[in-house]
Amino acid sequence: MLNRDTLGALIFLAFFTAYAVFAWQIPLLPFEEMDAVNSASIPKVYAVLGLMFSLLALLAQAIKRQHSSGDGWPQINRRSIGQTAVLLLLMWVYTALLEPIGFLLATSVFLSAGFFIMGERRWRVLLLASVPVAVVFWLIVTKLLGIYLVPGELWS
Amino acid sequence: MLDGILLGLSTALQWQNLLYVIAGCFVGTFIGMLPGLGPITAIALMIPITYSIDPSSGMILMAGVYYGAIFGGSTSSILINAPGVAGTVASSFDGYPLAKQGMAGKALAIAAWASFTGGTIGALLLMLAAPTLAKVSLSFQSADYVALMCLGLTAIAAFSNKGTFLKAMMMTVFGLTLSTVGIDPSSGTERFTFGNTDLLDGISFLLIAMSTFALAEALSNVLKPEVKQSAGEQPMQIGSIRLSKAEVKEISPAIGRSSILGFIIGVLPGAGATIASFMAYAAERNLAPKALQEKFGKGSLRGLAAPESANNAACTGSFVPLLTLGIPGSGTTAIMLGALIAYGIQPGPMLMQDNPDVFWAVIISMYLGNIVLLILNLPLIPYLARVLIMPKAILTMMILFFSLIGVYLVSFNTFDLFMMIGFALVALVLRLLAFPMAPLLLGFILGDMIESNFRRAMMTSDGSLSIFWDKPLTLGIMLLAIVVLAMPLLSFLRLRKAAI
């Protein structure tokens, strides 16, 4: 089974390989072609360095494995994974709704839904810890700091 | 120098700046106390606020937050044995046993006095070292800067935790690659934008800082709760914060020695507060008489005072390369560099001449920050410690909200928020795989500077790489970077040989 260091090195190897492919495709402007350093030079150096370090990490893992075992994976329960995934999804939905429905409504829904996901079930707490926060923050930003916050494209 | 100190004092003592430093210390202490959240997160959360105030005040606020967060980290180390940051881990070795013996107040007072003294000695040494180094660095050329930045990047990786050198190097290069996204400032060529106009300006540093630290740390705490004290449990009684004469006599020499050691280690790029605190702890244990040595780990006053003074002095020391060379030596100073650049201020040898108010105000505010921590925060610790019983749900959601809205209020572009969520997911996975985050931030912030200085150096040398070994200074720094890079590899090979 893959240990987490090997997996990490493989992820970076894949990333730096893709980066290298794109780095070698950076279109150069005509005046750049004769330059000692052009817009593609530094990305190419980074790509080579990245590939070198990720290959070295894989090699180090191969050598280590001959002498020791153990994968060192952190213990995480399924509930925590689910909560984290739903929180990420909630952030995505909040971002998508922020401009269409406006700051106040989106933030109130985001915070109360977040508290609910985190295990809070008392409706009074859900409302009191979300709506006032959104309103106070909105007042500070718009009235005190004079920053315009979109009221919601759907309503305006 | 006296003029500079007076200028710094006049800026830092303006009533609004005093308020900023006090507010910064409180907010920093509050965030620093939360297990899993450190000074980088605290400062990252402050950046959107600092954009609306002038640079000196912004830096003063951030310096206050920095010191507050370190002090807050010590508080959670002592009270619940859950260090907020790596730099305060050594403080828990003796701080927590003291708290368990009913001397939490005493332990917190020692932490505060040791931090204050460490910070004061650090600030004095910074006042002496920074202007001198700034004058010397005026003679530095582009090639020297490239060499110095390479040294900074390799050093932070080399000083990372045992066995994570290659991981830190991969993260550094990852940060460097992210800095190449957008229009190349020298030629106007688009790089890695994939036709997306939102990427033409590149990725903002605030976005990277918020997603890899604030968001990822909050999510990581949900995924992998490390808090040893369950929510709702009352933190232990604080007790008296008074120290006896004998106790003061016992800790004073340790504080003095550790402060100087901490400052020197802090100046070195990459070393920072964690190494300083562990080294100071180890040094004091070795220096202590046999009878006192046995008390280390069981509630030794010296064992608490040494790492506390060393980590604060190291935090001050880490400002030396930032203010004089424009090169951050740690994740925290990297984030401050990003904030300064966003203000249009380039830290480095010219900072002292071009923006003396910022330069001196930062130094003076560090000292003020330490005074605020001692006079205001210490007596309020029993009340501030209540943050440790704040429900996790509220805390997590507030961090997620402030991170997202903080970035939105700066760019007003929801594409940035989508990208931020993506980076937070990547950072979360990388954290699970035990990759350090600070090298990524450092690589990202130094990426632009390395590229522009490298190009300038190559233009002056007509495209010849010999510019990196022609001058003894450049060659010396380059060789040092190579030695730093080779050290972990050599030790790995030696260990392997021993294993065979």
Quote the pLDDT of residue A67.
59
Q: Helix B245-267 and helix B104-137: axis angle, to 10°?
A: 30
Angstrom CA distances, B425 to B393, B490, B498, stand at: 19, 34, 39
B-contacting residues of A 121-140, CB under 8 Å? 129, 133, 137
Question: In chain B, how many domains are there?
Answer: 1
| B21 contacts B368 by C-beta, under 8 angstroms | yes
Rounded to the nearest 5°, which phi and psi values hold at A27?
-75, 130
Inform me whether the C-beta atom of residue B219 falls under 8 Å from chain A C-beta atoms: yes
Contacts of A19 (CB under 8 A, 6+ apart): A43, A46, A47, A50, B177, B192
DSSP string for residues in B133-192:
HHHHHTT--HHHHHHHHHHHHHHHHHTSSTT-HHHHHHHHHHHHHHTT-EE-TTT--EES
Cβ-defined contact of A87 to B184 (cutoff 8 Å): no
Quote the pLDDT of residue B231.
42
| B373 contacts B71 by C-beta, under 8 angstroms | yes
Strands annotated E in B358-465: none
User: Quick one: residue B463, left, alpha or beta (phi over 0 = left, psi -120 to 50 = alpha)?
Assistant: left
Interface test with B, best of A61, A76, A95, A97 (most B CBs within 10 A): A95
Torsion of CA B82, B83, B85, B89, to 10 degrees: -130
Q: Which residue of B has its CA nearest to A80?
A: B223
Which residues face B182 on adjacent strands? B191
Min Cα distance B130 → chain A (Å) is 32
Chain A residues in contact with B398 by the CB 8 A cut-off are 133
Distance CA B420, CA B411 (A): 12
Residue B305 belongs to some domain of the structure:
yes
DSSP string for residues in B257-286:
HHHHHHHHHHHSTTTHHHHHHHHHHHHHHH
Which residues face B191 on adjacent strands? B182
| B178 contacts B444 by C-beta, under 8 angstroms | yes
Cβ-defined contact of A107 to B186 (cutoff 8 Å): no
Torsion of CA A102, A106, A107, A109, to 10 degrees: 150
Hey, CA dihedral for B323, B327, B329, B333, is it positive or negative?
Answer: positive
Interface test with B, best of A19, A68, A91 (most B CBs within 10 A): A91
pLDDT tens column, B380-401 = 777 766 666 677 788 789 889 9
Distance CA B346, CA B325 (A): 10
H-helix or E-strand spanning residue A132: helix A131-139
Quote the pLDDT of residue B31.
81
**Helix and strand totals (H; E) in chain B:** 24, 2
Distance CA B324, CA B46 (A): 24
Interface test with B, best of A42, A76, A142 (most B CBs within 10 A): A42
| B384 contacts B172 by C-beta, under 8 angstroms | no
**How many Å separate Cα A116 from the centre of its chain?**
22
Nearest to B223 among A54, A57, A84 (CB): A84
Contacts of B112 (CB under 8 A, 6+ apart): B71, B373, B374, B377, B378
B-contacting residues of A 43-102, CB under 8 Å? 43, 46-47, 49-50, 53-54, 56-57, 60, 63, 67, 72, 74, 76, 80-81, 83-84, 87-88, 91-92, 94-96, 98-99
Structure tokens at B380: 């309020």
Distance CA B300, CA B184 (A): 56
Distance CA B67, CA B58 (A): 15
| B8 contacts B355 by C-beta, under 8 angstroms | no
What DSSP character marks residue A2? -
Going residue by residue through chain A, which has 156 residues, state the pLDDT in tens, using 9 for 90 and above.
Answer: 678 889 999 999 999 999 999 999 998 888 777 788 889 999 999 999 999 999 999 998 887 776 555 556 677 888 889 999 999 999 999 999 999 999 999 999 999 999 999 888 888 888 888 999 999 988 888 887 777 787 877 777
Inform me whether the C-beta atom of residue B200 falls under 8 Å from chain A C-beta atoms: no
Min Cα distance B276 → chain A (Å) is 27
Nearest to B191 among A26, A60, A94 (CB): A26
Residue B230 belongs to some domain of the structure:
no
Chain A residues in contact with B415 by the CB 8 A cut-off are none
Nearest to B454 among A19, A29, A42 (CB): A42
Which residues face B78 on adjacent strands? none
Inform me whether the C-beta atom of residue B482 falls under 8 Å from chain A C-beta atoms: no
| B94 contacts B304 by C-beta, under 8 angstroms | yes
Inform me whether the C-beta atom of residue A120 falls under 8 Å from chain B C-beta atoms: yes
Nearest to B189 among A39, A60, A92 (CB): A39
Q: Which residue of B has its CA nearest to A16?
A: B174
**How many Å separate Cα B124 from the centre of its chain?**
19
| B183 contacts B358 by C-beta, under 8 angstroms | no
Distance CA B159, CA B182 (A): 31
Quote the pLDDT of residue B35.
65
Distance CA B347, CA B42 (A): 21
Hey, CA dihedral for B265, B50, B212, B481, is it positive or negative?
Answer: negative
Residue B271 belongs to some domain of the structure:
yes
Residue with tokens 């907010």: B27
CA-nearest of B359, B294, B355 to B322 is B359
**How many Å separate Cα B413 from the centre of its chain?**
29
Structure tokens at B209: 């800082």
Cβ-defined contact of A27 to B499 (cutoff 8 Å): no
Min Cα distance A111 → chain B (Å) is 6
Contacts of B456 (CB under 8 A, 6+ apart): B142
Write out residues in chain B with pLDDT < 70, as ranges: 1, 35-36, 82-86, 158-163, 225-238, 269-272, 377, 384-389, 492, 495-500
- Helical segments of B288-437, H only: 290-293, 301-317, 319-325, 331-342, 351-354, 356-372, 378-384, 392-411, 414-432
Q: Which residue of A has its CA nearest to B464?
A: A36
CA-nearest of B179, B491, B353 to A19 is B179
Residue B406 belongs to some domain of the structure:
yes
Determine the structural domain holding residue B305 and report its residue range. Answer: 2-225+235-499
Distance CA B191, CA B174 (A): 15
| B168 contacts B494 by C-beta, under 8 angstroms | no
